[in-house]
Structure 1
Amino acid sequence: MRGHLKRNRKRTDIVAVGDRVWVTRLPDDEGAIEAVDPRVRALVRTARNTRDTEQVVLANPDQVGFVFAVADPEPHVRMLDRFIVLAELQEIPIRIIVTKLDLERDAITARDVFGMYEAVYPVHYISVRGGIGISELRAAIEGRITVVAGPSGVGKSTLLNALDPEHVRDVSHVSTATGKGRHTTIGSQLHRLSDDTFVADTPGIRSLAMHAVPGDRLDWAFREFRPFLAQCFYQDCTHIHEPDCGVRNAVQRGDIAAPRYASYAALRRGDEMSGERTG
């Protein structure tokens, strides 16, 4: 990397996985990065040991697949909702990938937890052990750059092994003491599945960068709110306490899932805006 790029450094990531760069060839099959093209979009998280600096998980993804397990570890939909907000703000198309379908319980099924997202986003229900949903997911990522992100222990590496059996990755198991997984991926890695299909694997993410989001952007990031925003009596409605609120009326009618509204309300009040690590 040329020195002028390092001198102009403003963040922890001068060049990130997924960046499009200009390279000068050097002897011995080496090269030097001369310039980095502007990023169209990026999935970011808070850099280690700081809350104020962003670290790019993947630059220029075509879509993101947020991976959560049915169980082992237990699903944390508030965390998923925070991830969704960040992707929506970056205008990154979203898929939700639900793994470990074979661990479904009779009392609580995967759709009991994740079914509320189906009207808004593509939801893939996967059992690698049972071979369920793999071919459909493979078709959905074909010809795209997809980043898979989620908490540790949900089976991202196992999923990638099923999608790309020629390159087997290490997998881990969830700790019985903490209920959390161990990282098997050290840093973001871009894997080529075919000539035009790439998947970026990421370390288990507990904290994507969540800083203060203006209210009018936060409600827009909850995609199912959008048809009802114009129905609010007050133009600057927060959808928390105002009368004649189109969003809260939609929640009462069942047009918006109550858990999704609860996530919005927590973020709006600042309960979960600080970027604290969760899960």
Structure 2
Amino acid sequence: MESFNIFYSVLKYIPSPIRMESIIVGLAVHSPLKKFSHFYRIKNTRRVVAFDDEYNKDFFKMVMDSLAYDLDYSYNEYSESLFNDDIKRFSDIEQDNFLDTRISYLANEFQFSPIESLQTSDSEVKNDLENLQKMYLYYDRPKSERITKTEVRNLLSKQLNSYHLAHITKSPKIYDEFGGNNLYDYQINDEILVKAISFDYKRINQLSTELKNVIYDLKQLNTSNISKVILTRNDNLEFLPEKHKLAFDNFKIKIKNIENVKNLKIDLIPLSELEGTLNKTKA
């Protein structure tokens, strides 16, 4: 089963350069091997209206349509005879830097995140594309169809595999104090731990329990060989209930306190920033 990479980037809408608050409004994906590229746009634009009371419907649609024109391409055996214009416009579809050349010009209100990659295969690519949409265009789906923590961990695994890291251990032998659960999902180069967490719990009590456990485990962590912990979180936090947002803010404060006490770097990031965070560590 041949594996190949999917490259992706998340589009954020930032109406105010002063506040720098953002909402995810699109997802660009590209597979050089499969000659495939697509821009998935937000469907639930009511979220955008609620986020920005000065939202310009016509301007927003123009930007979305322009990105679809620049990015939507799916090669098939009839393409050359039927869509010569597309063949010319997408002559670089097999290049790894295709996505970068198509999205790097955007700035100000619309900004793409640094390009990420994940490793997939013919049998898994459909589910992986679905999970990326579920991850980043989260509110386009009913609650029963939103991404699960297991699916988030699966995306995390595929992203790490696409980086071809020299030393990576899945489910490292770092257990809770009762010797039961593995506390972290991955260990990289023996010194970096990675764990997926979520702030999207229906009940604040469930979220509170999860965050307390993470904080407790960080306090108990033996840091003699560990220099960094990366906590990958769900994006889409702009529409969390107020109690959940408060929990998120308090969690960040407690993490900072642990960093100071244990001389440990703790990064709390969305999955779309994982590779950039690892690259900063190397530097």
Give yes or no for TM over 0.5: no
Which protein has the bigger helix share? Answer: 2
Query: So what's the TM-score if we normalise by structure 2?
Result: 0.26
TM-score (norm 1): 0.26
